[in-house]
Structure 1
Amino acid sequence: MDEHQRQPEAEPEWLDNDDFERLLAEVLPELEPALPPGPGKRIYERAAHGDSAAG
């Protein structure tokens, strides 16, 4: 009779690799000015160009 029963949390929606790369390509132009030069930036550049070094 408890009206405030907790609903089970929904399963997270996982992105496949293509969806992730497309999403990254959309947000990368906004993030790029904040990225310092260095190895981290190269990782983002590879991801934006579809070069999957991590696989």
Structure 2
Amino acid sequence: MPRLIGKPSQAPMYVGLAFLVAVIGASVLEYSGDLNLVPGFGEQPTDRQPAGLSSQQYPLQP
């Protein structure tokens, strides 16, 4: 068993790392649309069509 007397704790580093991982994970989930904390974040504009598609190929049906 190692001697822990006088050794600095590594807890702040692990807490900071866990917080960083949580923030990155929440950002990825928010951008992908699985989480919606910020309305409109990560959305694509609805008036644009993907390249190569025209309205004649795929007409909108009411």
TM interval, shorter chain, is: under 0.3
* Larger relative contact order (CA 8 Å, sep ≥ 6): 1
Flag the structure with higher helix content: 1
TM-score, length basis structure 1: 0.27
TM-score, length basis structure 2: 0.25
